Amino acid sequence: MERRSRPINLPAPYLRRVWLDPARIADRESYPFCLPLLRDDFELSFDRAITIVVGENGTGKSTLLEGIAVLAGYDEAGGGKGYRPVDHSKALEKMGGSLSAALRASWLPKITNGWFFRAESFFSVARYLDEVAMESGSGGAPPDFLSHSHGEGFLRFFEEGCQRQGIFIFDEPESALSPARQIEFLKLMRRMENIGHCQIIMATRSPVLMAYPDARLLKLSKSGLESVTVKETGHYKVMREFCDDPAGFVQAAMEE
């Protein structure tokens, strides 16, 4: 189970910078180092409590978050420090594991509490939490996140596990959330920010989540990472065109 550290009376962000150490890369042509993001001297600084990364499929945003999560001490499959919820496939080890081994980090200070959330492994992590609670013999009821609908289980998981000091890494949390539930998630993020001791690093394809006020929004493309506004993202532009004329947008898209 996750071991809690002593609370630190400093505001987030705690992870201040990550960068790629070329000396730790055995093969520049292997994945993930062949990604355009990692081709040059990669470096990413965190100057705010909330950083949001956006990008198209294949640009490496999930791989980047996974590498940072492993670097922070979390399991590739998700969960908190010390959680080993699932067996590790070669693909997982090849991506985040190999990237984290080549990354260096600057912390102020180092935080050991928090969570790495992966949408595709949520059920494995939730089942693991239920099993650990039952095996502990504490006498209380297990969390039982899986008895709820997918979206409700997500939100309950976030509510119970993410309102304390730590670094929280979310990989596409909107995957099981309706637009209304995404608004609830934004409210949760605000509560986490107001605590003052939560650092959030999130990858998303949801314009709703991208629009979180005062977050640092980074667009990941073939050119690397650049700061953008939500209206400058392709995700927002597509959704704006759809909302302006749903029928016409769909018709035109099907005829391309």
For residue 203, the model assigns a pLDDT of: 95
Cis bond upstream, residue 142 (ω within 30): no
Cis bond upstream, residue 32 (ω within 30): yes
Please say whether the structural domain 15-255 has been given the CATH code 3.30.70.20.
no
Contact 221, 189 (CB under 8 A): no
**Which candidate, 34, 46, 40, 49, places its Cα nearest to that of 71?**
46
**Which candidate, 55, 105, 53, 115, places its Cα nearest to that of 81?**
115
Domains in the chain: boundaries = 15-255
Q: What is the pLDDT along the chain (256 residues), one digit of tens a residue?
A: 444 456 678 899 999 999 999 999 989 889 999 888 887 789 999 999 999 999 988 888 989 999 999 999 888 877 777 666 555 554 444 456 689 999 999 999 988 889 888 866 666 665 665 565 566 655 555 555 555 555 566 777 777 767 788 999 999 988 878 899 899 999 999 999 998 999 999 999 999 999 999 999 999 987 789 999 999 999 999 999 999 999 999 999 999 7
* CA–CA dist 190, 41 (Å, integer): 33
* CA–CA dist 145, 148 (Å, integer): 6
* CA–CA dist 168, 159 (Å, integer): 13
Q: What is the pTM of this model?
A: 0.85
**Which candidate, 117, 80, 78, places its Cα nearest to that of 1?**
80
Sheet with strand 198-203: strands edge to edge: 114-118, 166-171, 198-203, 50-55, 216-221, 224-227
* Percent of residues in the chain assigned helix, strand, coil, to nearest 5: 45, 20, 35
For residue 255, the model assigns a pLDDT of: 92
Residue where the block lists tokens 């314009």: 207
* CA–CA dist 148, 171 (Å, integer): 21
